[in-house]
Amino acid sequence: MKKSLIALASLSACLTLSAHAQEAITVVNFGGANANAQKVAYYEPIAKEGIKVTAVEYNGEQAKIKAMVDTKNVTWDVVEVESPDVARGCDEGLFEKLDYSRIAPKADLLPSAVSECGVGVFVWSTVMAYNGDKLKTAPTSWADFFDTKKIPGKRGMRKGARYNLEFALLADGVKPADVYKVLATKDGAERAFKKLTELKPSIQWWEAGAQAPQFLVAGDVVLSTVYNGRVDAANREGRNLQIYWPGGIYDLDYWVIPKGTAKKDAAYKFIAYASKPENQAVYAQNIAYGPTNKKALAKLDKKVLDNLPTSDKNAKDSLQFNTTFWADQGEALEKRFAAWATQ
């Protein structure tokens, strides 16, 4: 009898441990200040509700997800991906098709945050920034970014075609609403590269998001393209980096569930938790990225709202990153850029 009770107790303990193990998930993000904000807003508080999150950083390598799915050895349960990868991964069968009844009402979310295989995490923007302690003549247009006579000094730019070609056309007088229409033409692409060539001797390239604010703080560049959240993170450390918002290019990152994860239910619970307005408000308070749940905005004060890409003032003259355009023409333009950059 005693042995039977001990056996039952042991079995019960094993089942309890097993149940808890099923609520431990791996969430993959891009690191940096974004990962820190996710930790505060999502990872730590959801642990109190029975889901332990192990956070892993990566650089957006879709090939890693593909290898897991193909070999049926999926160890990532929720992954943050950039917008071009959502549709591509969905088409390739790498991600689960989402059931929004398990996440949030679609009407509560920004239209751009709702897709078949991914739900928006946050809205971020690539903008122009400068060091308010070093530059006394603030830029008033993208033309100023390309005008080294008016504002002498180096310019920081992300090493790649994306964003830079759009900014070059803005500097050349194209209206934000017409940028992709122009860039889609042979003459438009030529025009963008010609404008970039004018600035080329003054460009200092950056490849990691943390580099742009570092260049500005050090005085290596006077103006730089930069992710707005990186500016926010630097200013929280006492810097005085300022953003020029008009012409900024905003985009979203998305949560996806890799196809074949054994922890799909827990993955859904995590995404639903991270989509709640009150939790997204905490996230926005820790990094200046815009919520995808519209109801979160009412929970933020003016100081926070003024720094978000989604505020009325900051979004007024911005343009949305055109995922379809870059999916269609991106490969050719990136190859052309790589060749141009080495000339």
Give the start-to-end residue ranges of the domains of the chain: 2-123+252-312, 124-251+316-342
Average pLDDT over residues 328-342: 95
Could you identify the residue written with the tokens 């004018």?
198
Q: How is residue 72 written in tokens?
A: 């049926």
DSSP string computed for 180-236: HHHHTSHHHHHHHHHHHHHHGGGEEEE-STTHHHHHHHHTS-SEEEEEHHHHHHHHH
Q: Do domains 2-123+252-312 and 124-251+316-342 have the same CATH topology?
A: yes
List, in sequence order, every beta strand (DSSP E) within 58-173. Answer: 78-82, 119-131, 155-158
pLDDT tens digits along 230-248? 999 999 999 999 999 999 9
- CA-nearest of 269, 216, 273, 274 to 240 is 216
- CA-nearest of 315, 290, 284 to 109 is 290
User: Is CATH 3.40.190.10 what the domain over 2-123+252-312 is classified as, yes or no?
Assistant: yes
Which residue type, as a one-letter code, is found at position 114? V
- What is the spatial distance between Cα 23 and Cα 21, in angstroms, rounded to a whole number? 5
pLDDT tens digits along 149-177? 999 999 999 999 999 999 999 999 999 99
Q: Read off the pTM.
A: 0.85
Q: How is residue 86 written in tokens?
A: 């959502």
Q: What is the mean pLDDT of the chain?
A: 93
CATH class of 124-251+316-342: alpha beta
